[in-house]
């Protein structure tokens, strides 16, 4: 019987088009994801093979999340279609068993969904065989990963999800609740996953994810490239448990469905009042003899408007009272709360303040999906509402112009989005208040949501209605909208980035507290105007094509449109077309004539051209060195212009004359004059901004050349994208990148190895080895200079303060301009910046060093923390390393267009989004404002005193040592316990960073400017070194190192020199650590196996500890090899109080995988284990320590 | 505006649907003001004709004039004077008759609130829905919904009333109430009533047309048609098995069961012979004879 139903269901489904349409869509999706960059579904990057087992599993896993909608589409109708088609009376009167019917139908529907997913897998597999893929990134085909993904993830997920939504649809006998359930499910799912995403509860997160993806994520999170490419996804205990738990739940759910399901047709529950009043009873019965009232309808100019107003109210009522709308609003609000919590947990678990622009951004981002759902769904519902209930024949014969229903329905959509965004704003404010943040900015909500956001959604509403009218088929209209939303994602990926052909698109309008919407608002408004006019045109067309009557074929409607087209409408349409062309031409003039329109591909092409044209001849060509810069910088914030004049002093430090000079000017700057006569110009590439001059006479060895220049920056009109964020109304911040540069700049080369291969460039050596003496002639900051003399006069508008490195020697006003003269009293690196904004200055001092924080007036919350940190840093660094070379430390805020802090000589630009709005009120928050500040101050030593050569390992000398210095300052202020917390984040980021490596991982001492190594691993390594060497010894090494190499001339120092010094100072038993920590990639797998304690009387306990240790070496791709243990590791026993001193913590000599130890402690032991502080890198640090079982 | 007592003139109307179904084949009718009955079996093209008059679809050929108004071109004008009750229609289940009728009244151009209230209340009374005015339409029975449909069709003083199968689903009491209402309004305006229930036409209409397979088979006054048939209609009570034989020998126009026995009517200019009795023909005989002749 069951088999009969299953077969019937399968046959029924396979005769329907849905299964084939879905199969095609899914297969195309996976095929597209595999073969192009336009579609992205999970996937690997860098050296991970395109079809690595890991990637295949991930892609099919993600598709199986998407397939919830698919399986719901099938299971939801499996039984209830009998009720809808009214075949229930035929079917359910037969002698059949409920279980057979339900199970047969359910399994049939799931089987069909599985067929679609198999199609997805086939699409993926076929994709991997396409000839245009990078052959180096494709592994030979193997069916195993596909089968495993299908059977372990996809099929169980279909059964689990299917059973849930089958239950909802079958028991409520309606499809809609099932889909509402899907939406609810996804919301709860995403929120719960973001909560479960915390570091602590991985296993719980793995179990709580019904798709098993979290379990997959947990076991593969730290996978290296080698593992991703070779290993099949492990079927470990957590994964099995996850599958079992969810399939069990599905079984229970299905069982309940069978029990509660009833064949009986459901009688409509009589509503009160339906029957209670007899038709003929009562005094107030109908007076069927009442005289007819005859009223002449009047049709005048205002009739249409009155009708429109009325229609709008009726339509809006239907939308906002609709269950779907209410459900969507609820979920949107829930999601905003989740999203806000997620966004505010910014760095090291420390939240940022819920400032208004942040809340607006969260609401805008989170609501997008829900607005899309509301627009798409209700456009279909409302446009077809009369047709759906069968009222259209009455409705269409009414004496209303077509624009009344058209605008009524559209207006209702607009109003619905308006309401939705309003709810979003209220939610945002509620979150702010709940967090105790009372600086609400209602105007900002208004501008951001009801202004910028609503105006774009309004155009999408028009499009949705237009599609529905055009195709006059609800689901086809949905499909067109789906294609539209897809194209919004796909077009830019295909390098079609211009807004002139992307409906409704406008350049983004990033908001900064300092600069507000700045100049970004102008182009955003022009694009909105352009697309609004276009949308208005669509409306006129929609009005002409509006379906009226029963014969809605497009051909007939086009004929009818000719009849309907009044002169007014045609005139309006012509006017709109003309206006679209006019505004479009204006936009094109601005974006392509006044400005360069360059796609991402164009930028990459330029990089390729630069390398191909100049690398061979110029990479090693001797060029003179910049030794001094005296600049005159005029900043005009309000018109966003900069005039940059000055003189660079060049000296030939080589022993041969130089007869050619390569000058590069940032292409977006206009050159007014350069220091050499035009006659000497040999070659000029305008696009790349490269000029090559002949030097006549050649610059003799030791001779100097004065190079005056005058440049100007101005952004005429506006750009489609990529508008310059460095020069803005309030918060200008640009670096020495704006002055002319000399010689070849390897930084401009295309870095991504896959892109390089695609464009036929040879593999690139990212950095040269520390032994390369030619490379050691330069610092890693720039090749054109090392230490320079620096002075600058900076001027700005009278309401702003302008800054540059150096000491302010003079300030004066001239007209409505303010002038500042900055001079440096000692040589600095050729690395400086200019800033200008309306600042408030907080001043303090440490000994005779002035501390100044230049900030946006309302951002004063964390300024005292910054000052504290500067003081603590100066204390520690001067005591332990060397004196501070400047008399001043300045921290300068800049807008959130970038989110870093960067240390220039005595000047530290610091993004408004980093630290200024951190919420440090939490007791146990990691004070990253303090830490980041200390890190940047440390750069005054590590970079501005000791600077490495342009070779591997140099960022260890700047970033890693700055990181170590900041850690020490932080530990002095916040204690050891905080350090452990901080280092846990560092370990996590290091492990994640290495699995996302694009080229190859390197040991710390050979790091090639890889942040996860020089920051995150650097912190861990330096902290471990501090633990084994002692702080005094390590700092002694560093102090001596500065004394020896600080402010040195070429050749510049390398990490090898520091490593040798550390080796020399290392205690003998830890000698192997130099190799482990600095020279190789070494990982431990330490775990506590057993921990038992027996009381010895009094408060003495004997603790028996069994631990396991493994040590591995990894190569650049992450392939690991066990290496024998002959190591010293800490064993520790801790009491109940985690913050108290450990009961026992000693170094033990570990020589094999298994170690048993018995120690006696005073105090009741609670936890014990190996390397309990996780000093060494361990992929699973949580199992290092376990609970101690105390036998009584 | 439409002049009083304007005629509805239909000329050579043809319509073929995409599937090849020829719904109308050169239909021409002249419909004076007053009640006009359109009789025809299922699929005769009645609804197509009605929808075409109601501006809901265009014919492939032909023209329709309402007085001086070109119905096919001047749709907006026609809609202002039109009252239309489709054969089959739904309602918004979540609304009550009062608010939906009010909504329609606005869309019919009755924009003044007080006027609207008076019209809506009077109509709800006349169709006997006053008691149910606040109940959700979703819970209405077919007959109640039909009465609501009648109310909306009569909104706003229509000059051209098209009612497609209006009495379907009404109990006898409501049917007669509706026919009275229609008769009251229909004196001075054009009312086209399509039906397959012969009685409706017989009770109400001064003029009628019978159409089948898209053609007008007969057009004129019911009484004259009945008179024409007088002396040519005969009936006989037969056994069920005998039916086939009689159909072969005679022009059987209708068959019906009376008290479990089969009664047939046949058309014959002369007495068809034994056991056939002459019948005083009614409109139904006209209808069936017309159809039988056309077949």
User: What's the pLDDT tens digit per position in B94-125?
Assistant: 889 999 999 999 999 998 999 999 999 999 99
Verify whether the Cβ–Cβ distance A292 to B79 is below 8 Å: no
Selected residues 370-389 of chain A with any CB under 8 Å from a CB in chain B? 385, 389
C-beta of residue A741 within 8 angstroms of C-beta of residue A590: no
Tell how strand B34-39 and strand B207-212 pair up: parallel
Tell me whether A397 touches chain B (CB under 8 Å).
yes
**Could you give the dihedral angle defined by the CA atoms of residues A993, A995, A997 and A1003, in that order, rounded to the nearest 10 degrees?**
80
SS3 A803: strand
Tell me whether A100 touches chain B (CB under 8 Å).
no
Looking at every residue in chain A, the average pLDDT score rounds to 89
Please determine, for residue A281, whether its predicted confidence score (pLDDT) is greater than 50.
no
Verify whether the Cβ–Cβ distance B55 to A549 is below 8 Å: yes
CA A1040 – CA A188 distance, rounded (Å): 57
Verify whether the Cβ–Cβ distance A398 to B104 is below 8 Å: yes
List C-alpha distances in Å: A609 to A300, A540, A688, A754: 68, 48, 9, 17
Verify whether the Cβ–Cβ distance B107 to A310 is below 8 Å: yes
Query: Which residues in chain B are closer than 8 Å to A407, comparing Cβ atoms?
Result: none
Burial per residue of B55-91, b for 16 or more beta-carbon CB atoms within 10 angstroms, e otherwise: bbbbbeebebbbbebebbebbebbbbbbbbbbbebbb
Query: Which residues in chain A are closer than 8 Å to B74, comparing Cβ atoms?
Result: none
User: What mean pLDDT is predicted for residues A411-417?
Assistant: 96
User: What's the pLDDT tens digit per position in A654-700?
Assistant: 999 999 999 999 999 999 999 888 889 999 999 999 999 999 899 99
**Residue A968 vs residue A899, higher pLDDT:** A968
Verify whether the Cβ–Cβ distance B149 to A394 is below 8 Å: yes
H-helix or E-strand containing A889?
Answer: strand A888-894
B100 → chain A, closest CA residue? A314
Query: What is the per-residue pLDDT for A45?
Result: 57
Looking at every residue in chain B, the average pLDDT score rounds to 89
Axis-axis angle for helices A237-260, A155-172 (nearest 10): 20
Q: Which of B88, B103, B108 sits opposite A297 (nearest CB)?
A: B108
User: What's the pLDDT tens digit per position in A1167-1178?
Assistant: 999 999 999 999
Verify whether the Cβ–Cβ distance B106 to A274 is below 8 Å: no
B152 → chain A, closest CA residue? A394
Q: For residue B106, which phi and psi values (nearest 5 degrees)? A: -60, -45
User: What's the pLDDT tens digit per position in A884-933?
Assistant: 999 999 999 999 999 899 999 999 999 998 889 988 877 777 888 999 99
Q: Which of B54, B91, B157 sits opposite A295 (nearest CB)?
A: B157
Query: What is the per-residue pLDDT for A282?
Result: 40
Query: Which residues in chain A are closer than 8 Å to B146, comparing Cβ atoms?
Result: none
pLDDT classification of A340: cutoffs 50, 70, 90? confident
Q: What is the 3-state secondary structure (H, E, C) of A936-953?
A: HHHCCCECCCECEECECC
Query: Which residues in chain B are closer than 8 Å to A303, comparing Cβ atoms?
Result: 109, 111
Query: What is the per-residue pLDDT for A44?
Result: 55
Query: Which residues in chain A are closer than 8 Å to B136, comparing Cβ atoms?
Result: 271
Tell how strand A817-823 and strand A807-814 pair up: antiparallel
Distance from the B86 Cα atom to the nearest Cα atom in chain A, whole angstroms: 6
In 3-state terms, chain A is what percent helix, strand and coil (to 5)? 50, 20, 30
pLDDT classification of A173: cutoffs 50, 70, 90? confident
Query: Which residues in chain A are closer than 8 Å to B90, comparing Cβ atoms?
Result: 389-391
Tell how strand B190-195 and strand B160-164 pair up: parallel
pLDDT classification of A956: cutoffs 50, 70, 90? very high
Query: What is the per-residue pLDDT for A284?
Result: 55
Maximal C-alpha separation, chain B: 70
CA A284 – CA A271 distance, rounded (Å): 20
User: What mean pLDDT is predicted for residues A152-170?
Assistant: 92
Please determine, for residue A499, whether its predicted confidence score (pLDDT) is greater than 90.
yes
Query: What is the per-residue pLDDT for A269?
Result: 44
Q: Which of B90, B139, B177 sits opposite A389 (nearest CB)?
A: B90
Top residue of B19, B52, B56, B116 to mutate, by most chain A CBs within 10 Å, is B56
Task: Of A168-172, A341-345, A1071-1075, B84-88, give the lowest mean pLDDT range.
Answer: A341-345
Selected residues 282-341 of chain A with any CB under 8 Å from a CB in chain B? 282, 284-288, 290-299, 302-303, 306-307, 310-311, 314, 318, 321
Query: Which residues in chain A are closer than 8 Å to B18, comparing Cβ atoms?
Result: 553
Q: For residue A348, which phi and psi values (nearest 5 degrees)? A: 50, 35
| Token duo for residue A556 | 């007939």
Distance from the A367 Cα atom to the nearest Cα atom in chain B, whole angstroms: 28
**Residue A709 vs residue A37, higher pLDDT:** A709
**Residue B184 vs residue A41, higher pLDDT:** B184
CA B79 – CA B95 distance, rounded (Å): 24
What is the value of pTM for the model shown? 0.86
Please determine, for residue A422, whether its predicted confidence score (pLDDT) is greater than 60.
yes
Question: DSSP per residue over A177-244, as a string?
Answer: HHHHHHHHHHHHHHHHHHHHTSSS-HHHHHHH-TTSHHHHHHHHTT--HHHHHHPPPP--HHHHHHHH
Query: What is the per-residue pLDDT for A745?
Result: 93
pLDDT classification of B295: cutoffs 50, 70, 90? confident
B124 → chain A, closest CA residue? A286
User: What mean pLDDT is predicted for residues A443-464?
Assistant: 96
Q: Which of B58, B109, B152 sits opposite A303 (nearest CB)?
A: B109
Distance from the B88 Cα atom to the nearest Cα atom in chain A, whole angstroms: 8
**Could you give the dihedral angle defined by the CA atoms of residues A421, A423, A429 and A433, in that order, rounded to the nearest 10 degrees?**
-160
Q: What is the ipTM of this complex?
A: 0.93
CA B54 – CA B79 distance, rounded (Å): 8
Contacts of A949 (CB under 8 A, 6+ apart): A770, A775, A776, A777, A778, A779, A780, A1050, A1051, A1052, A1053, A1054
Residue from B3, B14, B1 nearest B211 by CA = B14
Please determine, for residue A329, whether its predicted confidence score (pLDDT) is greater than 80.
yes
Q: What is the 3-state secondary structure (H, E, C) of chain B?
A: CCCCCCCEEEEEEEEECCCCCEEEEEEEEEECCEEEEEECCCCCCHHHHHHHHCCCCCCCEEEEEECCEECCCCHHHHHHCEEEECCCCCCCCCCCHHHHHHHHHHHCCCCCHHHHHHHHHHHHHHCCCCCCCCCCHHHCCHHHHHHHHHHHHCCCCCCEEEEECCCCCCCHHHHHHHHHHHHHHCCCCEEEEEECCHHHHHHHCCEEEEEECCEEEEEECHHHHHHHHCCCEEEEEECHHHHHHHHHHCEEEEEEEECCEEEEEEECCCCCCCCCEECCCCHHHHHHHHHHHHC
Verify whether the Cβ–Cβ distance B135 to A274 is below 8 Å: yes
Environment class of B184 (CB within 10 Å of its CB; exposed 0-12, middle 13-18, buried 19+): exposed
Q: Which of A286, A303, A398 sits opposite B79 (nearest CB)?
A: A398
Can you give the length of chain B in residues?
Answer: 295
Query: What is the per-residue pLDDT for A279?
Result: 42
Verify whether the Cβ–Cβ distance A273 to B82 is below 8 Å: no
Distance from the A572 Cα atom to the nearest Cα atom in chain B, whole angstroms: 20
Query: Which residues in chain B are closer than 8 Å to A271, comparing Cβ atoms?
Result: 135-136, 139
Contacts of A1032 (CB under 8 A, 6+ apart): none
Please determine, for residue A500, whether its predicted confidence score (pLDDT) is greater than 50.
yes
Please determine, for residue A271, whether its predicted confidence score (pLDDT) is greater than 50.
no
Q: Give the single-character DSSP code of A292.
A: P
| Token duo for residue A1020 | 């861990």
A271 → chain B, closest CA residue? B139
List C-alpha distances in Å: A643 to A637, A712, A728, A796: 11, 5, 14, 11
Query: Which residues in chain A are closer than 8 Å to B128, comparing Cβ atoms?
Result: 279, 286, 288
Verify whether the Cβ–Cβ distance B130 to A284 is below 8 Å: yes
User: What mean pLDDT is predicted for residues A264-273?
Assistant: 48
- Percentage of residues in chain A having pLDDT higher than 70: 94
Q: How many alpha carbons lie under 13 Å from residue A885 in its C-beta half-sphere?
A: 25
Q: Which of A288, A290, A314 sits opposite B177 (nearest CB)?
A: A288
Verify whether the Cβ–Cβ distance A563 to B73 is below 8 Å: yes
Contacts of A581 (CB under 8 A, 6+ apart): none
Tell me: cis bond preceding A299? Omega within 30 of 0 counts.
Answer: no
Please determine, for residue A347, whether its predicted confidence score (pLDDT) is greater than 80.
no
Verify whether the Cβ–Cβ distance B128 to A286 is below 8 Å: yes
Query: Alpha carbon B104 to chain centroid distance?
Result: 23
Query: Which residues in chain B are closer than 8 Å to A285, comparing Cβ atoms?
Result: 130-131
Axis-axis angle for helices A863-880, A1031-1045 (nearest 10): 80
Task: Of A332-341, A795-804, B66-75, B122-131, give the lowest mean pLDDT range.
Answer: A332-341
CA A879 – CA B122 distance, rounded (Å): 98
Q: Give the single-character DSSP code of A1098.
A: T
List the strands of the sheet with A658-664, edge to edge: A681-685, A690-699, A658-664, A741-742
Verify whether the Cβ–Cβ distance B106 to A310 is below 8 Å: yes
Please determine, for residue A233, whether its predicted confidence score (pLDDT) is greater than 80.
no
Verify whether the Cβ–Cβ distance B135 to A393 is below 8 Å: no
Q: Which of A393, A548, A553 sits opposite B89 (nearest CB)?
A: A393
C-beta of residue B278 within 8 angstroms of C-beta of residue B233: yes
């Amino acid at each position: 019987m069951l088999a009969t139903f299953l077969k019937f269901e399968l046959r029924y489904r396979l005769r329907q088009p849905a299964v084939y349409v879905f199969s095609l869509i899914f297969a195309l999706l996976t095929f597209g994801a595999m073969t192009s960059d336009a579609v992205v579904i999970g996937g690997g990057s860098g050296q991970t093979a395109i079809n690595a087992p890991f990637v295949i599993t991930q892609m099919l896993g993600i598709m199986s999340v998407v397939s919830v909608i698919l399986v719901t589409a099938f299971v939801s109708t499996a039984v209830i279609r009998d009720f809808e088609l009214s075949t229930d009376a035929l079917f359910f009167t037969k002698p059949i068993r409920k279980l057979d019917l339900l199970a047969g139908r359910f399994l049939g529907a799931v089987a069909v969904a599985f067929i679609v997913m198999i199609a997805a897998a086939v699409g993926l597999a076929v994709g991997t065989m396409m000839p245009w893929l990078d052959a180096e990134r494709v592994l030979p085909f193997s069916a195993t990963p596909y089968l495993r993904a299908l059977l372990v993830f996809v099929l169980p997920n279909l059964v689990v999800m299917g059973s849930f939504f089958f239950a909802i649809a079958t028991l409520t006998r309606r499809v809609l609740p099932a889909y509402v359930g899907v939406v609810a499910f996804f919301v709860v799912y995403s929120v719960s996953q973001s909560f479960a995403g915390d570091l602590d509860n991985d296993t719980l997160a793995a179990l709580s994810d019904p798709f098993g993806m979290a379990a997959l994520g947990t076991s593969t999170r730290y996978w290296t490239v080698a593992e991703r490419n070779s290993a099949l996804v492990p079927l470990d205990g957590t994964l099995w448990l996850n599958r079992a738990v969810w399939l069990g739940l599905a079984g229970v759910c299905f069982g309940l469905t069978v029990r509660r399901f009833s064949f009986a047709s459901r009688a409509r529950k009589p509503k009160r009042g339906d029957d209670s009043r007899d038709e003929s009873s009562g005094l107030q019965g109908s007076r069927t003899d009442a005289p007819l009232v005859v009223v002449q309808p009047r049709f005048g100019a205002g009739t249409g408007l009155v009708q429109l107003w009325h229609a709008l109210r009726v339509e809006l009522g239907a939308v906002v009272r609709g269950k779907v709308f209410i459900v969507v609003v609820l979920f949107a609000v829930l999601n905003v709360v989740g999203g806000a919590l997620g966004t505010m947990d910014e760095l090291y678990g420390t939240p940022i303040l819920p400032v208004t622009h942040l809340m607006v951004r969260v609401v805008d981002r989170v609501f997008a999906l829900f607005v899309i759902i509301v627009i798409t769904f209700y456009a279909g519902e409302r446009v077809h509402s009369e047709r759906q209930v069968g009222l259209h024949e009455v409705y269409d014969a009414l004496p209303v112009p077509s624009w009344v229903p058209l605008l009524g329905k559209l207006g209702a959509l607009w109003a619905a989005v308006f309401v939705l965004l309003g709810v979003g704003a209220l939610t945002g404010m509620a979150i702010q208040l709940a967090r105790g943040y009372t600086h609400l900015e209602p105007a900002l909500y208004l501008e951001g949501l009801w202004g910028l956001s609503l105006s774009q959604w309004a155009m999408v509403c028009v499009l949705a209605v237009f599609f529905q009218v055009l195709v006059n088929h609800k689901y086809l209209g949905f499909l067109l909208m789906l294609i539209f939303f897809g194209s919004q994602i796909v077009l830019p990926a295909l390098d079609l980035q211009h807004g002139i052909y992307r409906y409704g698109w406008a350049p983004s309008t990033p908001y900064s507290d300092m600069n507000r919407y700045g100049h970004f608002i102008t182009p955003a408004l022009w694009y909105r105007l352009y697309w609004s006019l276009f949308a208005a045109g669509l409306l006129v067309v929609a009005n002409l094509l509006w379906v009226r009557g029963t014969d809605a074929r497009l051909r007939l409607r086009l004929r009818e449109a000719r009849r309907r087209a009044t002169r007014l409408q045609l005139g309006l349409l012509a006017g709109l077309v003309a206006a679209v062309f006019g505004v479009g031409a204006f936009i094109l003039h601005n974006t392509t004539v006044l400005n360069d329109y360059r796609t991402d591909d164009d930028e990459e092409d330029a990089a390729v051209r630069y390398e191909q044209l100049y690398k061979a001849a110029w990479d090693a060509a001797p060029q003179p060195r910049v030794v001094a810069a005296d600049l005159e910088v005029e900043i005009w914030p309000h018109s966003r212009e900069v005039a940059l004049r000055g003189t660079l002093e060049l000296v030939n430090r080589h022993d041969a004359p130089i007869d050619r000079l390569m000058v590069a000017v940032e292409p977006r700057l206009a050159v007014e004059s350069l220091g050499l006569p035009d006659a000497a110009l040999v070659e000029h590439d305008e696009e790349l901004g490269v000029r090559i001059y002949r030097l006549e006479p050649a610059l003799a060895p030791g001779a100097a050349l004065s190079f005056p220049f005058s440049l100007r920056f101005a952004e005429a009109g506006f750009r489609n994208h990529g508008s310059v964020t460095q020069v803005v109304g309030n918060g200008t911040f640009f670096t020495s990148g704006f002055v002319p540069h000399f010689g070849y700049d390897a930084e401009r080369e295309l870095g991504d190895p896959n892109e390089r291969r695609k464009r036929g460039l040879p593999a690139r050596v990212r950095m040269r080895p520390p032994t390369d003496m030619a490379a050691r002639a330069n610092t890693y900051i720039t090749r054109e200079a090392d230490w320079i003399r620096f002075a600058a006069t900076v001027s700005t508008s009278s309401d702003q303060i302008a800054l540059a490195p150096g000491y302010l020697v003079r300030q004066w006003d001239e007209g409505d301009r303010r002038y500042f003269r900055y001079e440096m009293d000692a040589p600095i690196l050729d690395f400086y910046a200019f800033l200008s904004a309306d600042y408030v200055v907080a001043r303090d001092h440490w000994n005779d060093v002035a501390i100044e924080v230049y900030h946006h007036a309302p951002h004063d919350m964390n300024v005292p923390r910054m000052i504290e940190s500067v003081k603590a840093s100066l204390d520690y660094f001067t005591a332990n390393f060397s004196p501070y070379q400047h008399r001043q430390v300045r921290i300068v805020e800049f807008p959130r267009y970038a989110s870093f802090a960067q240390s220039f000589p005595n000047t530290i630009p610091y993004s408004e989004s980093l630290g200024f709005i951190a919420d440090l009120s939490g007791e146990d928050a990691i004070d990253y404002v303090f830490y980041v500040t200390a890190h940047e101050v440390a750069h005054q030593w590590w970079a501005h005193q000791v600077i490495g050569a342009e070779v591997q390992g140099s960022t260890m000398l700047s970033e890693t040592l700055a990181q170590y210095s900041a850690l020490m300052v932080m530990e002095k202020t916040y204690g050891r316990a905080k350090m452990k917390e901080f280092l846990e984040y560092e370990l996590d980021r290091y492990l994640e960073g290495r699995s996302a490596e694009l080229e190859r991982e390197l040991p710390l001492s050979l790091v090639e400017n890889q942040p996860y190594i020089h920051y995150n691993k650097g912190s861990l390594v330096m902290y471990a070194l501090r633990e084994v060497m002692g702080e005094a010894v390590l700092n002694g090494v560093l102090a001596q190192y500065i004394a020896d190499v600080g402010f040195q001339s070429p050749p510049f120092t390398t990490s090898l020199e520091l490593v040798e010094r550390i080796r020399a100072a290392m205690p003998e038993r830890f000698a192997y650590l130099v190799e482990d920590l600095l020279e190789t990639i070494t990982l431990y797998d330490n775990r506590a196996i057993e921990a038992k304690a027996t009381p010895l009387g009094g408060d003495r306990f004997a603790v028996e500890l069994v631990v396991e240790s493994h040590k591995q070496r990894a190569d650049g791709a992450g392939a690991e090899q066990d290496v024998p243990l002959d190591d010293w590791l800490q064993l520790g026993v801790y009491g109940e109080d985690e913050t108290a001193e450990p009961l026992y913590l000693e170094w033990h000599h570990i020589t094999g995988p298994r170690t048993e130890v018995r120690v006696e402690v005073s105090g009741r032991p609670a936890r014990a284990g190996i390397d309990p502080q996780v000093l060494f890198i361990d992929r699973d640090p949580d199992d290092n320590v376990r609970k101690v079982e105390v036998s009584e | 505006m439409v002049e009083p007592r304007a005629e509805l003139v239909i000329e050579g109307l043809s319509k073929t649907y995409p599937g090849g179904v020829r719904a109308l084949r050169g239909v021409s009718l002249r419909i004076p003001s007053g009640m006009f009955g359109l009789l025809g079996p299922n699929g005769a093209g009645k609804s197509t004709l009605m929808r075409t008059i109601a501006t809901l679809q265009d014919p492939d050929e032909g023209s329709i004039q309402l007085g001086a108004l070109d119905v096919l071109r001047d749709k907006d004008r026609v809609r202002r004077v039109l009252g239309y009750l489709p054969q089959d229609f739904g309602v918004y289940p979540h609304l009550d008759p009062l608010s939906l009728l009010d909504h329609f009244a606005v869309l019919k151009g009755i924009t003044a609130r007080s006027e609207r209230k008076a019209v809506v209340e009077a109509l709800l009374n006349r169709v006997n829905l006053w008691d149910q005015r606040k109940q959700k339409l979703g819970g209405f029975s077919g007959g109640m919904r039909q009465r609501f449909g009648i109310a909306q069709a009569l909104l706003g003083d229509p000059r051209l009333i098209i009612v497609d199968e209006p009495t379907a689903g009404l109990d006898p009491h409501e049917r007669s109430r509706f026919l009275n209402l229609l008769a009251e309004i229909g004196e001075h305006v054009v009312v086209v009533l399509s039906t397959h229930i012969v009685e409706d036409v017989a009770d109400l209409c001064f003029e009628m047309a019978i159409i089948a397979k898209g053609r007008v088979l007969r057009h004129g006054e019911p009484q004259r048609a009945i008179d024409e048939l007088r002396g040519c209609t005969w009936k006989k009570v037969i056994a069920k098995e005998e039916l086939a034989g009689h159909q072969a020998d005679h022009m059987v126009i209708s068959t019906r069961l009376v008290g479990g026995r089969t009664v047939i009517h046949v058309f014959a200019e002369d007495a068809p012979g034994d056991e056939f009795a002459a019948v005083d023909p009614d409109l139904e005989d006209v209808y069936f004879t017309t159809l039988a002749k056309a077949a």
